[in-house]
Amino acid sequence: MKTALRWLISHNLRLSFWFVIALALSGCAHQRTAWNAHTILPKGESVASLNVRANDPSVGDVERVRAVFTLLGRHVCPGSSGADVRRVLTDTRWLQRVELYKIEGLAGWIPVRLKSGESVFCMRLCALPPEEKLRKGSIYFRLSGDFWSGQALAFLRGDPNMKDVRLTEYALCFPPSPKAFWNEGRYETFTTAGMTVIEAR
């Protein structure tokens, strides 16, 4: 009897394990992951013109989000200090429209790593109704040190008190395509080791 019980428990655990693996793989069936990839953001746009467009309501939310994404993705390297970021984000009035919160714990997946002694934040670029927020893009980023949301905003605004803090990792979360599942789009994650892309198919 004990032998039979051990056999059942063992095989049920094995079945549960493979069920979890199959479920995880099925969730990724419509995704493509690439390491050492390249951003889809356009080249050649100056920091000055991108800052102007990020703050221009006449161009619409999509273009303003793209301008902010391009400022980061094309002009800010992971590991940059607050002083370095300030030289790129020269006009941060667009921050008045963002929703920013600190990631204290995880109930799911995010495109940047949690790391001891550092702080991770999520920033939605437009203060919009809930059904629209995911379609406008967001940015996840990690700072060296233990900070709260107000300090993260101060870092992005170029506060001199945050000039030595480092932007150690960030991810640009693009609006999804109409065929994407769970409102997923393209995620471009920038780290000191390189760039990773996850894209819903």
What is the distance in angstroms between the CA of the first residue and the CA of the last residue of the chain? 50
Predicted confidence (pLDDT) at residue 127 exceeds the cutoff of 70:
no
pLDDT, tens digit (0-9, with 9 covering 90-100), for 134-193: 456 899 999 999 999 999 999 999 999 999 999 999 999 987 655 554 455 789 999 999
Query: Cβ(114)–Cβ(120) under 8 Å?
Result: yes
For residues 102-131, average pLDDT = 84
The domain locations on the chain are: 30-200
pLDDT band at 198 (very low <50, low <70, confident <90, very high): confident
Burial of 26 (0-12, 13-18, 19+ CB in 10 A): exposed
pLDDT, tens digit (0-9, with 9 covering 90-100), for 67-92: 999 999 999 999 999 999 999 999 99
pLDDT band at 29 (very low <50, low <70, confident <90, very high): very low
User: How large is the angle between the packed helices 47-54 and 61-75, nearest 10 degrees?
Assistant: 150
Within the chain, residue ranges assigned H as helices are: 2-27, 47-54, 61-75, 82-88, 130-133, 149-157
Predicted confidence (pLDDT) at residue 8 exceeds the cutoff of 60:
no
- Alpha-carbon distance 187 to 153, whole Å? 22
Query: Cβ(158)–Cβ(89) under 8 Å?
Result: yes
pLDDT band at 12 (very low <50, low <70, confident <90, very high): very low
Question: Using DSSP, how many helices (H) and how many strands (E) does the chain show?
Answer: 6, 8
CA dihedral sign of residues 74, 79, 85, 87: negative
Mean pLDDT for the chain? 80
Give the residue with greater pLDDT, 30 vs 144: 144
> How far is CA 32 from each of CA 18, 24, 79, 134, 184, rounded to the nearest angstrom?
22, 14, 26, 20, 12
159: amino acid identity, one letter: D
Half-sphere exposure of 172 (CA within 13 A, CB side): 22
72: amino acid identity, one letter: L
